[in-house]
């Protein structure tokens, strides 16, 4: 089979590999769709810490595939199309017991700690299968659109942490695919205003098309005037910029909710935040990272019910042979989600 393999910084190479086979409790999928994530771009550039010793590994974790081999009675049936929630844990630690596999100290994830889905076939390990990460899709669901349930699930966890609701004024920092998911979720929640802060003019324009009510560049004064005297009920920081985190606390209304959705680069520098803003405004400051099985199911439901359409977020669909082109496009800043169909 063909697989896209990490061979060092800047080198993702299509290679011939033996097709995996399912051992006891395992499942083999034919990969139908796997979208490229910012995480995959970090892998490709050689800056993802899980890939420090990842030579020879196959990335890809936003995946829909068809079951082609099962190792015994595993619940999945041959020919079924499934979405795979990518994260699974040890199964018994405090986080795992609470369904927060994304916080397991021994977190495992397809495409991160083991071979992922930029390949014709992929093996799903027993622990992942028994933890319920395979979610069966009804016939007729577009696999490319369903694959986007994973990044949507991540955004959904951020939105839930902020309890975004009707009449809220919501500010979203960053209008990449994740920022746009946040815009869509805020709209779905009935937010009164969705104000986007994004330095790239094209992305600002696009955010308006996805339901943002206003979009601004990095001029904080302008943004602050748009938000108004009372401040924003919800501020989501979906960009890895320290100043945006600081501004978020300033923009938040009294009893506002803030979500640090994006992490900052681990370059040793720290961010100074005015914690008096948290204290005197009674802010709720949250962080979320990754997806859980439950949030993946909820995100899939939103997509399948048609409440949240992911098709407009798909800029291109390409085969594995065009993987280099696909990664270049995904990393160019011009495209939203690029899906590989191996």
Contact set with Zn ion (CB under 5 A): 37, 89-90, 93, 96, 104, 151
Least CB distance from residue 219 to Zn ion, whole Å?
A: 31
Nearer to Zn ion, 62 or 247 (CB): 62
Q: In 3D, which of 200, 167, 190, 63 has the Cα closest to residue 179? A: 200
Please, what is the minimum distance in Å from the beta carbon of residue 89 to Zn ion? 3
Q: Name the maximum alpha-carbon separation found in the chain.
A: 62
Q: Which is nearer to Zn ion, 89 or 158 (CB)?
A: 89
Q: Which residue number, 43 or 277, has a Cβ lying nearer to Zn ion?
A: 43
The CA angle 235-240-246, to the nearest 5 degrees, is 50
Dist. CA 28–CA 68, nearest whole Å: 6
Nearer to Zn ion, 39 or 213 (CB): 39
The encoded tokens of residue 262 equal 């994006």
Tell me the residue number closest to Zn ion, measured at CB. 37
Q: How many CB atoms lie within 10 A of CB 329?
A: 17
Kindly state the smallest distance separating residue 15's Cβ from Zn ion, in Å.
23
Cα–Cα–Cα angle for 210, 290, 227, rounded to 5 degrees: 40
- Kindly state the DSSP code that residue 262 receives in the 8-state scheme: S
How many Å apart are CA 216 and CA 252, to the nearest integer? 17
Nearest distance from C-beta of residue 91 to Zn ion, angstroms? 6
Q: How far is the CB of 85 from Zn ion (least distance, A)?
A: 12
20 or 151: whose CB is closer to Zn ion? 151
């Amino acid at each position: 089979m063909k697989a896209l393999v990490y061979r060092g910084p800047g080198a993702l190479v299509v290679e011939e590999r033996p097709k995996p086979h399912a051992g006891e409790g395992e499942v083999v999928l034919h990969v139908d769709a796997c979208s490229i994530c910012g995480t995959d771009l970090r892998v490709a550039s050689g800056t993802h810490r899980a890939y420090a010793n990842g030579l020879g590994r196959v990335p890809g974790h936003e995946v829909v595939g068809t079951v082609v081999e099962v190792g015994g009675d595993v619940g999945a049936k041959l020919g079924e199309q499934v979405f795979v929630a990518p994260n699974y844990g040890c199964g018994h630690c405090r986080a795992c017991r609470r369904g927060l596999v994304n916080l397991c100290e021994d977190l495992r994830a397809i495409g991160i700690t083991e071979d992922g889905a930029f390949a014709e076939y992929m093996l799903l390990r027993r622990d992942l299968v028994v933890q319920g990460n395979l979610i069966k899709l009804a016939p007729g669901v577009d696999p490319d659109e369903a694959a986007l349930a994973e990044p949507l699930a991540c955004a959904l966890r951020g939105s839930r942490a902020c309890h975004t609701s009707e009449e809220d004024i919501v500010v979203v920092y960053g209008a990449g695919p994740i920022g746009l998911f946040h815009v869509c979720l805020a709209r779905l929640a009935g937010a009164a205003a969705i104000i986007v802060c994004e330095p790239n003019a094209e992305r600002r324009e696009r955010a308006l098309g996805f339901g943002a009510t206003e979009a601004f560049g990095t001029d904080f004064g302008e943004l602050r005037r748009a938000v108004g005297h009372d401040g924003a009920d919800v501020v989501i920081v979906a960009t890895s910029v320290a100043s945006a985190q600081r501004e978020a606390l300033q923009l938040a209304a009294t009893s506002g909710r803030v979500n640090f959705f994006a992490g900052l680069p681990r370059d040793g520098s720290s961010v100074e935040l005015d914690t008096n803003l948290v204290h005197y405004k009674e802010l709720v400051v949250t962080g979320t990272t990754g997806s859980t099985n439950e949030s993946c199911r909820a995100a899939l439901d939103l997509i399948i019910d048609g409440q949240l359409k992911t098709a407009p977020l798909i800029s291109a669909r390409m085969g594995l042979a065009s993987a280099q082109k696909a990664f270049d496009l995904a990393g160019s800043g011009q495209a939203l989600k690029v899906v590989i169909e191996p």
